[in-house]
Structure 1
Amino acid sequence: MEGHRQLLLVLLSFGAFAIIHLVQAQSDQQGFISLDCGLPANESPYTEPVTGLVFSSDVDFISTGLRGEAGDDNTYTYRQYKDLRYFPDGIRNCYNLKVEQGINYLIRAGFGYGNYDGLNVYPKFDLHVGPNMWIAVDLEFSNDDEIIYMTKSNLLQICLVKTGSTIPMISTLELRPLRNDSYMTQFGPLNLIYRRAYTSNSTGVIRYPDDVFDRKWSRYDWLETDVNTTLNVRSFSPFQVPEAVSRSGIISKNATKPLLRFLLSLDDDSDRVNVYFHFAEIQALRANDTREFDIELENNVIKSAYSPTMLQSDTVYNLSPQKCSSGLCYLDLVRTPRDLSNNSFTGEVPEFLANMKSLSNINLNWNDLTSPLPKVFQDREKNGLKLTRPSIFNQTKRFTYSEVVTLTDNFERVLGEGGFGVVYHGSLSGTQPIAVKLLSPSSVQGYKEFKAEVELLLRVHHVNLVSLVGYCDEESHLALLYEYAPNGDLKQHLSGERGGSALKWSSRLKIVVETAQGLEYLHTGCKPPMVHRDVKTTNILLDEHFQAKLADFGLSRSFPIGGETHVSTAVAGTAGYLDPEYYRTNRLNEKSDVYSFGIVLLEIITSRPVIQQTREKPHIAAWVGYMLTKGDIENLVDPRLNKEDYEPASVWKALEIAMSCVNPSSEKRPTMSQVTNELKQCLTLDNSKRGGIREDMGSRSSVEMSTSFTTEIAPKAR
């Protein structure tokens, strides 16, 4: 934590929207460390009556300091603030805590001074996390402080450091494990500034058990109109907003007001801020109404033309920490004018739009428009027309190799490696993160596949396909520049490589539906249609909102339309995901992608390796079929899934879909359109759980499943 501090702003819930940082944890206090500092050992542990949290004495975690009391049982809302430990001796006194290495922890230190020493002087001292400075504490202005910190070992020290004449003291020390993929930080630990909720909660504070991570949400008073709902507001991402928070919010009192503005004051001009906005539409809009706005931090657009999802929380945040001018940050939600964005318009932009004098704003973002804009639009721009062109991801450009070197800061940060070469982190204009795939001269992918991927991505645009930002083709230097997916790939989350809790079933369903939609677009929305040929969990990327993006189109091929049903081509793909019929015959059609997608779906259900030589049937499809013939359905589902969090009928239906996709005969497999529709029904079944409709997963056996599978196929993996 050298140089400047990196800060985290957390607010939340404006009628249709919300602002915070969130992460996923266990609802049973698993991994929680809750210390009541100064609590006598003979009174430990106890269950705090307001929250149900179990607190223990700190006597086993520190050998220095003296015990004090800041009041009686009625002085503080929470029991743990009554006791305290103070440190009259020594400069540095440290707690030694056993933690899990490589995990992000929310660490909270609480202080109840209560004039325990009769001096009526608020203590001032420093807090350190290990060797790093955490924060300078002044109890006149604060009674608790939070930081998000990734542990470097299994031992963590929290130290109180004397800096003046007053004596350091502490009332409570609390650690809560977080998901490592809930947010990314470029500069290490994050100090919390605010976490606010637009809630009507009578106590003014929401925390555990409403929030399974035990974050504290304070009531944020705002001179706008409160709104709320009694309906369930769901979350499909690791940024899970507590329903007690996301059911309430605000809207502007003035319907014509163009923005909602929030002002944040910083202690240090060098501080940089990460802001996490959480939104949910909780009002029923009229048929022709749209709630759409730009999200801005210091006049930098974090998200343009954003519309909250009905009764579903979503998270928007700046990927790079932001410096604010003069210690003040302006956070704006700016209403967009009626525009033309997000409509999948194709073709050229008609000139008559520029001739409509009543139009002062035109937004053309996220369409499939082609050709340069007519000159008349440029003339109108000079005369005041505000024109928002298709985003950078729809404006693919060619870069020089020297530009690629600059964008990647001389290839400083590696994101991953493969047979093609290395993927690096880059940045456009210092603000827009990108991924840069640099092909090595010895790449097995080669120039042919490089060219194929560029040509395909230049003509396909879909929210669930990774977007091509640009490419470099300069002598021996070949590179592809993509939109950046900060949450990695699906394989990492299923395997636990990214740490934290397992993906919930609802999150897995959302990801797999979005992947299916991307494939459906390739098969039915492209002319000519495309076969991906390498569908697998490592090629399903997850953006900052955990939206699925199908990637890696180097093996993609067009397939015929009309009378022909397939194309003959050399076999390519990845071992385990490769369609056995295609492997045998070299006859490729869209059903080869369906097979690979079925394998992905089996991975999502089971979290088992695609090929594992030590089990009864090495290949996952054959193993699942074997388990089904035994009637052993219970052991098919990922044991990390909490049975209380999913509807068994939804899992069973997903299993049926997967097995139909991996049928050895391509003719018997469904189309991706059918798969997409069926998976959406899985979502409906899962949603029914909250309505009390349950169905025994083991009671259904009428659906025919293919349990025979050819396992001797083992093409080389890419």
Structure 2
Amino acid sequence: MKLCVAVLLFYMFQVIHGQPDYQGFISIDCGIPLNSTYQDSITNIVYVSDYGFITTGENRIISSDYMEPSLAKRYSNLRFFPHGPRNCYTLRSLVMGNKYLVRASFYYGNYDGLGKPPVFDLYLGTNYWHEVNYSDAGAFNWMDIILVVPTDYLQVCLVNKGMGNPFISGLDLRPLNTTLYPEVNASQSLVLVNSNRFHMGPTDNSIIRYPSDPLDRIWTTYNAIPNCTKISATSPMHNNLRDVYDVPPSVMQNAATVNSSRIDFSWNPSDPSANINSKYFFIFYFAELQHVPSKAVRQFDIIVNNKTWNSRPYTPTFLFANYFSGVVQGMENYSVSLVATKNATLPPILNAMEMYLVKPITAVATDPEDARAMMAIQDNFGVVKNWMGDPCTPKTFIWRGLNCSYPPANPSEIMGLNLSSFGLVGAISTNFRDLKALQYLDLSHNKLSGPIPNFIGELSSLMFLDLSSNDLSGPIPYSLLQRSQNGSLSLRVGGNPNLCGNGTSCRTVRKKINGTLLAAIVVPIVIAITLFVILFLLRQALKGKAKRKATGHEDGSALLGSREFSYKELKHITNNFSQEIGKGGFGPVFLGYLENGNPVAVKVRSESSSQGGKEFLAEAQHLTRIHHKNLVSLVGYCKDRNHLALVYEYMPEGSLQDHLREPLLLVNHSLGSSVFRSPLMLHKVLSICTSPVSQH
């Protein structure tokens, strides 16, 4: 008893959080209160609420006029969807490549008082399942689909067609062995429309399902054979169809027969979407239920639309199930005849049958890794909007803020995410790292906090990243700084007062003013300062030249007030010049760290540089005398034999050239490409500003 209770509690705990139970079943009663659960008194199946499967919709109870004592509990309520064109349930923790039966159940019961059931579409992932169109407000209806799942999750979507609000009463998922229904594969599914799975029991309107059928298929009584007689087995049945259709003995123990040489009946699919291109898959089940006298013969042919399915006269085996199956082309009506042969002394019999619509799987979904990442991001941040179902397909229902690729025969990939002002709160989700094709990411104007994760710099396709106007803190990852410096990434981090440069000593960075305001304020100031510096340097050069001529002293090293480094010290602080962060006419620029941990930029003269020792010393001398908030400061220099280098303060937000360029760029929303508004003006400005502060 304790074991049973433990198993039941485990079952309930699992499914209530959106997972299959210990049997692999998912059984949802749509419309019951949040987190509630109950056990059905007939099937013993435990039903759970929608919690963990869907975040939209509203619960309703059916009209009291349709509440009957015999009504199953799950049909007394429903969930309807008055908002949005598409609302989706997500069934998780499935086994990719396995077969499943999915059932959607509907009972309108005039819940809205309109007396008119709505008409809407049902999708399974990106593929159209079927139209839901029932005219009888008091009819119980369900649709089954048998399919191979392409991923470890499955989405059932209700789509509004403008003909009333979609609704649903129940949603079930049942695992199947991979050998069952061999007609189902990755490119084709089977859809059961209008409950077309029948047994021939003697009791009208009787239903066989779980636990009699371990797969929980629903078998209803078929009463449309004219002048038929029902017979039943008196001995246990044997099932030799376990690896094909696994028909339960309770279905096969009854059969219909007639007092003539043939059974004739017709079947109408009652499917408004069927046309001449549609295909149906029929399965007929047979088993002999009576002891046949030695001289008696039960032998007949199976004929569908005047085509004989059996190659030789068929005789059913005593107490053993067998079948005949085939595909028929779409028609409005199908005729079925079981005709006794000339040698037969007993009439034909029929035990059960199934009729499925063959549904090709044609739509290509979003790349599974991208889709899983986006669903996890949706869970992380609780984004509602229209974030449900497949992120990219169909195009009509693409998630807000996404930009996807649509290759002809391959899965869609997510190329861009514009989540600016989405109300995102908390740390940047680690699931962004799985969007391998992402080129554009805008997370600006949210309430993101914590550090910028290193993995963002590892997104090799990323060309544009806007993290501005959040509450991010800590150092900017070196990988992002490096890519920003070499021009492979357009990076925006302004408006995060607690962000700082990469290093052990983390100081508050200066806020960046973006856009045209920066261009209007900074550019004129920098040009004016640059002109002033040029005039000042020319004046000092003339005065220095005159003084050296008067004193005969040409060596300017004595005039330097900054720290002098040896070449060995430079190798130590730059880790043997391992991290190059820029390059200019003077030579390469390397990132280094002083003894106190402060980052510096070390500019080393290359052998190919045209700048000699005198020019080098002149530049160092001038920089020791210049101090401005928009110009980097000189920390020191190296003049060790033939080795010449300048050591600058490191600016993590980019060079002066970057600050001048940023307001002059337009970023393409989907690809992150850049164009100059005024290339000529930019060239003139940069040509007078990029030395010596153009490199760090």
Q: TM-score, normalised by structure 2?
A: 0.42
Q: Rg bigger for which structure? A: 2
Report 1 or 2 for greater relative contact order, CA contacts < 8 Å, sequence distance ≥ 6.
1
